[in-house]
Amino acid sequence: MSTAPVFAIIDDDEALRQALAELLEVSGYDCMTFADADGFLSDYMPGRFICLVTDLNLPGKSGLALQQQMRCIDPGLPVIIISANPDALTRSRCLASGAVAYLIKPIRDQVLLRHLAAALGRC
């Protein structure tokens, strides 16, 4: 297993998880996928991940709860939250908690890639 920093993708929808992973890999990024927050946390090591893309609604710990936890554990880790929920209040809560973006499903490839580049300072 590589120790190079990678993107983490967390979504309980396996098809979406794999589609996002393929998009990142075709775009030249390495990534690891997880079905839930606990799976990600069990694999987490400081410096391993360069960005976290997480669904808002996950089984167990929500994406927002995970993002808030990561602010304590790894405050420099950019977090992008994805959701099928276009609610402005939820979006505001996520961004106020430190998410660098809140994207609504279905996610356009170029929009996600633009936010990933911005999160990494590669604009």
pLDDT at 1 over 70: no
Q: Give me the mean pLDDT over the 67-94 stretch.
A: 95
d(CA 117, CA 90): 24
pLDDT at 64 over 50: yes
- Per-residue pLDDT at 4: 58
pLDDT, tens digit (0-9, with 9 covering 90-100), for 2-39: 555 799 999 999 999 999 999 999 998 999 999 999 99
Q: Give me the mean pLDDT over the 65-71 stretch.
A: 95
Tell me the residue type at 28.
Answer: G
Question: Does residue 80 contact residue 119 with C-beta atoms inside 8 Å?
Answer: yes
The backbone torsions φ and ψ at residue 95, rounded to the nearest 5 degrees and listed phi first, read -70, -40
- Per-residue pLDDT at 120: 85
The backbone torsions φ and ψ at residue 102, rounded to the nearest 5 degrees and listed phi first, read -130, 105
Q: Which two structure tokens, joined as six digits, stand for 41?
A: 């946390």
Taking only Cα atoms into account, the Rg of the chain, rounded to an integer number of angstroms, comes to 13
Q: Give me the mean pLDDT over the 39-51 stretch.
A: 95
Read off the pTM: 0.93
Confidence of residue 109 (pLDDT cuts 50, 70, 90): very high
What percent of the chain is predicted at pLDDT more than 70? 94
- Per-residue pLDDT at 30: 94
pLDDT at 116 over 60: yes
